Amino acid sequence: MRALINQYSGAHYLGFFFINTVGQLFDALLIFYFMSHILSPKTGRRLPWGWAAFLMTGVTCLADHLSGNNPHVWTGVIILFPLCYGLLFYREDWRYQLVICLLGSVVLSSLENVSVSLTNLCLSRYTPGYVGLLFLYALRRFLMKGVLFLALSFLLKKTSPLSGQRGHASWYALGITSLAEIWLMFFFRDHGQGLWEGLVLSLFCLFVPILYYVMLNLTEDNAIKEKTALVQKNQIAVQEQYLDQVMQMQDSLRKFRHDYRSHLFCMDGLLQEERYDELRAYLQDLHKMDKALSYGTAYTGNHRLNILLNQKKAAAVSRGVELDIKVDDCPPGAISAYDLNVILSNLCDNAIEAAALSEEKKALLVLKKTRSYLDILVQNTTPGNVLKDNPQFLTSKADAANHGYGTRIVQSLIEKYEGIQKIDGGEGWLKMRILLLNT
């Protein structure tokens, strides 16, 4: 087809040049679309991937012009340019980003070869005129890329964003496979191949890395879900143990108050005998005992919930965060006490942690009943714009493999209770509202 296009010059060639340029833009947009949905951006301002795609289009067109449309140069550009962008603006290790760039390049190269093979098969049967050739070239550059976009949209909905925990040998094997397929396509192209052989090879090189990628995602998503469930189970066990201990303290408090009359008689005796030093020491012991046995503010009639909220209030105070708690008396419903404690514990911990890093250091928790739903609202100040800088709510802790499960646990419980989650935020603040079906 390139030989037929070269027959045209001047104004007629501009049509092919325009289609080719728009096709290059589609290639760049597909690569950056893929990267932006599976990699996590660094905190701070960055070049939007849409503008990066336009810049890459210019570089690709310039490289094609200088190299005489050399496919080796084109492949190098669609690997190296996204990799450089990723190293500047994404958090993942460079080796993993290289794997992603190799995967994107082999898929685009294979798709381009499929389009070329199908176009050449059509041209082997008839030779169209200028308009027909222009139409075939447009189909080759646009139609298959549209199919790839739909496929990517579907795959990205079925796979989870990366969390900084991936990048083991299986993912490196994917990169090696992609690199081997790129070499394979160039090898057969340089040594000549029939139309049907080229089509079969291109389809093979297209589907193998995609299937590999899907299987890796499914495998690791299942592993993450299992670990999330284990973390949630451990959280529930620890929370249950803590609540049981505090409930025992409450029992001790009730016994102490039951014996309060005896204490009064004892103090009265010390007063009558003018043993003031012993009386003062006795009173101090009573104050210490009462303070130790008290679980704090009674926000609601649910004792376990009061214990948890006072625990989070104390945690906020220790980090210099002003946590305002507003709770209506929510009658027990379909939501188990332990699931509710896990949800509130994770939400409050995240809010306190973010607020502690901000300037204002404020957080708000509102818990109320809205029709048949339990309405949970958590709002806190943040350092910067979380929805812009970290939209996937990935953990910033160094040991990412053992942290960052709180968000997944909350999400799993929202799904369990057929809930709804809405997140809003801006510069310096974040608000999360959750409705859980409670009937």
pLDDT band at 193; cut points 50, 70, 90: low
More confident residue, 214 or 351: 351
CB atoms within 10 A of CB 424: 11
Neighbours of 289 (CB within 10 A): 14
Whole-angstrom Cα distance, residue 408 to residue 232? Answer: 9
Q: What is the pLDDT of residue 395?
A: 54
CATH code for the structural domain at 298-439: 3.30.565.10
**Burial of 253: CB neighbours in 10 Å, binned 0-12, 13-18, 19+:** middle
Span 197-216, average pLDDT: 79
pLDDT at residue 5 above 60? Answer: no
**Residue 105 scores a pLDDT above 50:** yes
Q: Work out the average pLDDT over 301-327.
A: 85
Indicate the domain borders of the chain: 2-228, 259-294, 298-439
Secondary structure (3-state) at 58: helix
Mean pLDDT over 80-109 rounds to 87
Q: What is the mean pLDDT of residues 418-428?
A: 89
User: Mean pLDDT over residues 344-353, rounded?
Assistant: 89
Exposed e or buried b per residue across 119-139, where buried means at least 16 C-beta atoms within 10 angstroms of its C-beta: beebbeeeeeeeeebbebbbe
Cβ neighbours, 10 Å, residue 198: 20
Q: Specify the residue for token string 């290289």.
A: 98
Please state the rounded mean pLDDT for residues 418-439: 89
Q: How confident is the model at residue 331 (pLDDT cuts 50, 70, 90)?
A: low
The pLDDT score that the predictor gives to residue 103 is 87
Burial per residue of 323-360, b for 16 or more beta-carbon CB atoms within 10 angstroms, e otherwise: bebebeebeebebeebbbbbbbbbbbebbbbbbbebee
Judge whether residue 302 has pLDDT over 80. no
Are 32 and 50 a contacting pair, CB within 8 Å?
A: yes
pLDDT band with cut points at 50, 70 and 90 for residue 56 = very high
Sheet holding 373-381, edge to edge: 322-327, 362-370, 373-381, 429-437, 420-426
391 vs 88, more confident:
88
3-state secondary structure (DSSP) of residue 124: coil
d(CA 260, CA 282): 13
